[in-house]
Structure 1
Amino acid sequence: MASLTTTKEIDRELPPLLRVYKDGSVERFLGSSYVPPSEQDPDTGVSSKDIVISENPKISARLFLPKLEEQHQKLPILVYYHGGAFCLESAFSFLHQRYLNIIASHAKVLVVSIEYRLAPEHPLPAAYEDGWYALNWITSSKSEPWLMNHGDFNRFYIGGDTSGANIAHYALLRVGGGVDQLPNKVKISGALLAFPLFWSSKPILNEPVEGHEESSAMQVWKFVYPDAPGGIDNPLINPLAAGAPSLKDLGCPKILIFVAGKDELRDRGVWYCDAVKKSGWNGDVELIEVEGEEHCFQIYHPETHNSKNMISRIASFLV
């Protein structure tokens, strides 16, 4: 019997991530399998559960609550946007379930991991809209017991890895620009940006000139947001593009950025950090480079020495 991939006609693809067929179906080649939440994770003691934020559009989240020292303990809140090039992975995937169990346990924080709509079924800016909607829902919600009983909204953080870090950056600009404020006057205490996904039409720092047009970041952006005004120099992917909101308006007092020495996005994180420092933004930004590591290494291999150091640094940031 012929396989699915040989009997269906291909419409377009983004190697090696996924393929779209002319009947509208999508085949993803990367990404970890979905796993259910757990009442108490045997390795960390963290409990997790899933909630619905919106039915239309479909937005949900997985909450992670560490083992409490006392019944009415209040914890910092981390709203987390998963990575995956805007088209892969999930708040419900094995990799992020394992990673956020560890973060919640080590940092003693209540994590809200957002399940936003993915491209290509939902091209950008859907993920940005979902991320912003979820942030507003969380800060206005009075019905979610874990948030109400154990969340400290005076210690309210956002963050993510790669494309998720990009979504968090967008939310910071909306909050800090003076137009959009979060419900109940909630302020963002800080942002965690791990291996943030930014790019532009021109190479920067040590990025090679040759092959820039064929870079993976360029191909991803064209695929997930084919109608983006300005293309790869849209302010959502290029925070220094002409007409982009000023970085001095970032809406939090501190930012922690991680880059990895072997990551194609390494120079973009450095570039972004330098731009924030030069923007006139009145906050503290710290860049941590982990030499010799690959993109998002701490999610794939959380047991290594470098991963444990990174998780410890994140925990000390989320206070």
Structure 2
Amino acid sequence: MGSNESSNEIDRKFRFLTAYKDGRVEIHYPTQKIPPSNDPNTGVQSKDVTISTEPPVSARIYLPKILDPTKKVPVLYYIHGGGFCFESAFSPLFHSHLMALVAEANVIAVSLEYGLWPERPLPGSYVDAWAGLKWIASHVKGNGPEPWLNDNADFSRFFMGGDSGGANMSNFLAVQIGSYGLPGVRLIGMIMVHPFFGGMEDDEMWMFMYPTNCGKQDPKLKPPPEDLAKLGCEKVLVFLAEKDHLREVGGIFYEDLKRSGYKGALEVVEHEGVAHEFHLFDPAHDKSLSLVKKFASFLNEV
């Protein structure tokens, strides 16, 4: 067999990636990045910050138009999806979505740029997400490294959420907060947009990217009832999409949470006739606008 043929011999192929027997990896979807920008129409500003250099973790922060400097606003910690191996907090899709959400909800948003597989094997993304959470919490006393958070953030109205794999990581963080606390921060709610959890073919991909996983019952992949019962938030909102390949596992997560003994409020919203991440790819769609409005209202109902 020639060298070219052997180098193209596939070891494993999944929804988002192909691994070759020579060690090469091909990610099926490119990741585009754009710089931060300001919106003169809404007054929303954005900028990028460094959370840590080793490992490299950063974020894009969004500040709404501040009409009254004496009144602080809620904080949203957002974690993007992308199968743990592509997409970015700096991509056009997520930048546009967060700009619109911040304008609608009048909140500060911190959108995490975490390490991606294969450069950052799982559970690296979860570690990065926890590092981002602790960095945000370092501003509770008004003396953190980021002035936008020091001057404008109301940590008694803190929210966390994400889409797809980002929703999965948000759940992991909420379990950690419920177990160990986060001093000075009151986690009001968690928003799960088309969440990824175990119970489908993508389980194998997740375990391939996570060499030290605990199998299909790994608590990050399939949160047990005892973990769900101690989520460190007061309410949860789950978005589902009828034609989403994750629709079934998202619904199972909702039902598992409902039966777990979780004491907070729980709400599910399903959009009919649309697929996974429809709101990112067609933000002008009436159902996309509805999702943003519902997300925003959830952030403002305390």
How far apart are 1:60 and its partner, in Å?
A: 0.6
For the pair 1:87 / 2:85, whether they are aligned, the reply is yes
Q: Which runs of 5+ in 1 are unaligned?
A: 201-211
Deviations 1:121-176 (A, max 9, x none): 21111111111111011111312100011111111000000100000000111111
How far apart are 1:17 and its partner, in Å?
A: 2.6
TM-score where L is the length of structure 2: 0.90
2-side partners of 1:80 and 1:26: how far apart?
28
How far apart are 1:20 and its partner, in Å?
A: 4.9
User: Which of the numbers 96, 103, 106 marks the counterpart of 1:105?
Assistant: 103
* 1:126 aligned residue: 124
Which is further off, 153-162 or 121-130?
Answer: 121-130
Change (3 A) 1:47 1:14: farther
User: Which of the numbers 190, 210, 220 marks the counterpart of 1:236?
Assistant: 220
How far apart are 1:26 and its partner, in Å?
A: 4.7
SS at match of 1:228: coil
1-side partners of 2:9 and 2:157: how far apart?
48
Contact kept? 1:173, 1:245, Cα under 8 Å: no
Kindly tell me the number of residue pairs found equivalent between the two proteins: 293
Change (3 A) 1:125 1:145: same
How far apart are 1:22 and its partner, in Å?
A: 7.1
CA-atom RMSD in angstroms = 2.2
Change (3 A) 1:6 1:114: farther
How far apart are 1:269 and its partner, in Å?
A: 1.7
Deviations 1:73-92 (A, max 9, x none): 41110000000011110111
Contact kept? 1:77, 1:153, Cα under 8 Å: yes
For the pair 1:256 / 2:237, whether they are aligned, the reply is yes
For the pair 1:143 / 2:141, whether they are aligned, the reply is no
2-side partners of 1:74 and 1:303: how far apart?
30
Q: Which runs of 5+ in 2 are unaligned?
A: none
SS at match of 2:74: strand
Change (3 A) 1:42 1:10: farther
Change (3 A) 1:43 1:218: farther
Change (3 A) 1:98 1:24: farther
2-side partners of 1:173 and 1:162: how far apart?
17
1-side partners of 2:18 and 2:43: how far apart?
38
SS at match of 1:263: coil
State, as a whole percentage, how many aligned pairs show the same letter: 41
1-side partners of 2:9 and 2:113: how far apart?
27
2-side partners of 1:45 and 1:298: how far apart?
22
How far apart are 1:71 and its partner, in Å?
A: 3.6
* 2:205 aligned residue: 220
Deviations 1:50-94 (A, max 9, x none): 000111111110001122223444111000000001111011111
